[in-house]
Chains A and B, each alone.
Chain A
Amino acid sequence: MSEPGTFAANAPAPDDLTDCWRTNGVYGTRTCPQLTDYVHCRNCPIHARAGLEPLNRPVPAGYAEHWTDHFEKEAWSRRSRPSSAVPFRIAGEWLALPTKCFLEIAEWRPIHSIPHARQIVLGLANVRGELLICISLGHLLGLADVPPRNLLRAKHAPLLVLSWAGRRVGFPADEVQSPSRFSSEQVRPAPPALAKANPAFSESMLQWRQRTLILLDPDRLFLALNRNLT
């Protein structure tokens, strides 16, 4: 960098690629000195650049047209950025929460009940070595009529872990879908009766794959939760 003006002329020439991972790498003699640093060829920058090499080929026929069609559809308003939400099902009802309040979607694990706990508290579960309070969201929202203890036995039910306003909490769901994007046009106000029935509900409805979801507001939800727990 002593002569800043000359670097453009000294641009690196395209290196000669060798399949060193097959000769002296992990698929060969394992004698490459770099292996002590990288452990596996996957971590080596030579491997990474070899992985990019096949992208330097002509665009296949029909490829650009396909993606042009893809991005042309799904109209968003010019100024509204898409939001993301995770749809899930509880007590036969499809709900959604914004993706940003999710910490993790974990597999089912045993929930150890706490004696003399409130009804909506199912117990404690071990998630990555930390104890997590698990609640029955259905009971919090007044949707479920089954005893909360039954939820403890429902294996294969995913455990959804939320983190919002400094509080972490988990709840089992019957089913969960991958995060979906939606634009503000897809959000409609909910019937006023719904919000009145339970303050934890927001007044938003979301149109998602020919289905109408109730889009929960995390602020209201955690407010209701704190009220119930304390």
Chain B
Amino acid sequence: MLFLVFQIGRNRYALDSRRVVQVLPLLKLKCLPHAPKGVAGVFMYHGAPVPAVDLSELTLGEPAAELLSTRLIVLDYPGSGDQVHLLGLIAEKATEVIRREPRDFVDSGFNIKAAPYLGPVLVDSRGPIQWLREQHLLSQSIQQLLFGSPALLDSAAAAIQELPSG
């Protein structure tokens, strides 16, 4: 199984690559008004608006550094029912993939209520890597905000189309 590895702060996390649609360079985002902490904005992906979440801001409260190694990961986010939404994740040092079996990860031994997305842990020569379960990443309220009302995203997309890029 292939995992995409990235960092939040100084800790490394892994994402199931089957969920990943494409890894993009850090794009210019359109800010969403009154967006909650962690929601960085919206970008256009092949003509469709996609919301982006800054993992650093979401978990640590600090926005990700604007470096080449900071990437925008487009992934399939399971919605209610059979619905699948596209979601952008801004992650630092998203530059490597690793091939590991799920059994290589072991349970971390405790569950944090506020962070249900933290999964089992793997240790390699450079230290631990924690499986990030993307489907539990967003709180209900944020999911509702981002995917509950397509009209919001469409209006944001319209705003992007009207404005000159940048």
Give residues in A with beta carbon < 8 Å to B. 1, 4-5, 7-8, 10-13, 45, 52, 54-60, 63-65, 67-69, 71-76, 78
Contacts and interface: CB of A to CB of B under 8 A. Distances in A.
A64 B68 contact: no
B127 A74 contact: no
Interface of B: 9-12, 24-28, 43-48, 66-69, 93, 95-96, 106-110, 121, 123, 125-128, 160, 165-166
Contacts of A63: 25, 68
A64 B26 contact: yes
B39 to A, nearest CB: 18
A55 B147 CA distance: 33
A69 B66 CA distance: 18
A76 B69 contact: no
Contact of B10 (A11, A56, A68, A75): A11
Contacts of B107: 4
Given A72-B165, A74-B46, A5 B26 contact: no
Given A55-B95, A72-B44, A1 B165 contact: no
Contact of B46 (A11, A56, A59, A75): A75
Contact of A64 (B9, B27, B121): B27
B45 A8 contact: no
A72 B69 contact: no
A57 B47 contact: no
Contacts of A54: 68
- Most chain-A Cβ atoms within 10 A of its Cβ — which of B26, B27, B95? B27
Contacts of B110: 4-5
B125 to A, nearest CB: 7
- Most chain-A Cβ atoms within 10 A of its Cβ — which of B25, B45, B93? B25
B97 to A, nearest CB: 12
B127 A11 contact: yes
Contacts of B43: 68, 71-72
A52 to B, nearest CB: 5
A1 B93 CA distance: 24
A67 B46 CA distance: 12
Contacts of A45: 125
Contacts of B45: 71-72
A32 B26 CA distance: 38
Nearest to A75: B47
Contacts of B48: 75-76, 78
Contact of B67 (A5, A57, A69): A57
Given A4-B108, A11-B12, A68-B44, 7 more contacts: A4-B109, A5-B108, A11-B11, A12-B10, A54-B68, A59-B66, A71-B44
Given A4-B110, A5-B108, A12-B126, A65 B166 contact: yes
Contact of B165 (A8, A10, A57, A69): A69
A5 B10 CA distance: 15
A75 B161 CA distance: 13
8 contacts: A4-B108, A4-B110, A11-B11, A58-B67, A68-B166, A71-B45, A72-B160, A75-B46
A10 B66 CA distance: 25
Contacts of A7: 121, 123, 127-128
A12 B129 CA distance: 11
Contacts of A55: 67-69, 95
B109 A58 contact: no
A12 B24 contact: no
